[in-house]
A and B are shown apart, each in its own frame.
Chain A
């Protein structure tokens, strides 16, 4: 019996907009096993971000149950949720959400600021390492407004990796990247997955989905397809096959 990381049952999320109620999720049920690399696809407005926010313990469902590592999220206090977000979950936001006027390095250090067990020396080392992983070693001192969109996205990825979480949630983490860089990022995610981390990855691109082991497709707040991908592509090999082109350089 494999360990279930996520167990979601009949999850619903309604937003009250004055008189109207917008149902972003209309009953979602699925289970993610530990070590799975799952992608969520679906058209814009289908509820992917809403679902990911709930999985990331940022938002609470209107109804339904959500067990994370067997623990009912509903029953946790605000502080316990904060601890969970800090140490178990790495979140890559669709809109990056970097702190303005704060260097890339410090942005990556941010989650560790809220982890008392990490010394400032360790913090710096880990942040540097995470930035190296996303190939941003030469941009550590740059402020977000001195970075390109893709570079900002990579800082956000480094920040999600840095606290060594059990589960990484990424909302369109490659949405702004050229295909070469996308593959490089996918290499990083696949490596993390090989190390046993559970990954939930929201994407629009079917091409990206082929690097995962499973893809669920949402439409209008419901799962319309749950596809198990038995021959996942290796991002490292795809990258090798790619012609070396000067224009593709970062």
Chain B
């Protein structure tokens, strides 16, 4: 018996029981739809985190003082005093894999422009910082090394700050604002960066020479961060190793001592986040897969009922010359048809659901081709797997017994 005949027979049988076929499909539809939507959510958030982290500058390596345990008291990063400008000098001098290094300090405070004020963060860095962060200026110029050595009261301001203290649309460049009573002359406006992977507004910032911030605002000689940039993406790990070595030497740590700093590359950050979202994806997928199995059992159940119900029909077909294998194929194809049709509807539904989630909940979703192909194949397999036993049962019936079945 050829395939077109088999398909015809299977279509007929489903047509006769449309409602039942649809209800049977429902399990598969929901299962596949759920798999696709869930994976789309997982993949979407992963992709957006990756994009955001690499937007921070994928070559960037950051160093933070370790919040190491001192006499049982855990100190927070600002009060740990392990990174200093000497470290930056050491890195600049000895680094092979780094193209730029910048110290980093930051202070929260109120910025005032006339009658307007805004609470923001003042970051003290070197001019190299903007290259490390891959952060262009929208207007104006970057402060110079000379500004750094003279601790000049100049700054660059982020877009959010501009929006909040220059509400009339005037050009901020050349204006003077105050941060903690210190007047700063604005020499440039930073390009818009948007939110980072943690949901923080990266444009809510004022950037000034680190000397100015350390001496005039914070009165400290310690750093909260060191930012470095690897020569290219492939040597970030080497750069990170090199930084550790140099810093350990500069801090005179014994081999048995633990690091009093932490070096992080962007790749590590991406991995950290990817692994959490990977776990999420696995969990969601598992739940969805379970619903697929439940759907499959639904198919099996209905196919068994159908075989029993149609025993007489099977007997007749056999009496008219159907072989066992013809009957097996007939029921198998019916099961596969149910599961594949369910699969197609499920895929459409899943893709639609992902779009709706993106549009209405503004979650990032990404329908991956592999999830569509995979769930579709799982569907077909579900049909074969769960349809096989009922079909086998049908094919083994004895023609005369089946024909006499009431």
Contact = CB atoms under 8 A, between A and B. Distances in A.
A116 B2 contact: yes
A82 B314 CA distance: 13
Interface residues of A, number: 26
Interface residues of B, number: 24
Interface in A47-89: 53, 56, 58-59, 78-79, 82-83, 85-87
A113 interface: yes
Given A113-B9, A116-B1, A78 B400 contact: no
Contacts of A87: 321
B16 A85 contact: no
A110 B12 CA distance: 13
Interface of A: 53, 56, 58-59, 78-79, 82-83, 85-87, 91, 93, 97, 99, 101-102, 110-111, 113-116, 120, 159, 163
Contacts of B1: 113-114, 116
Nearest to B17: A101
A228 B151 CA distance: 131
Say what secondary structure dominates the interface of chain B. helix
A120 B8 CA distance: 11
B348 interface: no
Interface stretch (B123-131, B178-186, B322-330): B322-330
A102 B12 CA distance: 9
Given A99-B313, A120-B4, A114 B400 contact: no
B399 interface: yes
Contacts of A85: 318-321
Given A93-B403, A111-B321, A159-B320, 11 more contacts: A58-B399, A78-B324, A83-B321, A85-B319, A86-B320, A91-B319, A93-B319, A97-B312, A101-B16, A110-B317, A113-B5
A114 B1 CA distance: 5
Given A58-B403, A97-B316, A99-B313, A82 B4 contact: no
19 contacts: A53-B400, A58-B399, A58-B400, A79-B325, A82-B318, A83-B323, A85-B319, A85-B321, A86-B322, A93-B319, A102-B12, A110-B316, A114-B1, A114-B320, A114-B321, A114-B322, A116-B2, A120-B4, A120-B5
Interface in B57-113: none
Contacts of B321: 82-83, 85-87, 111, 114-115, 163
Interface string B254-279: 00000000000000000000000000
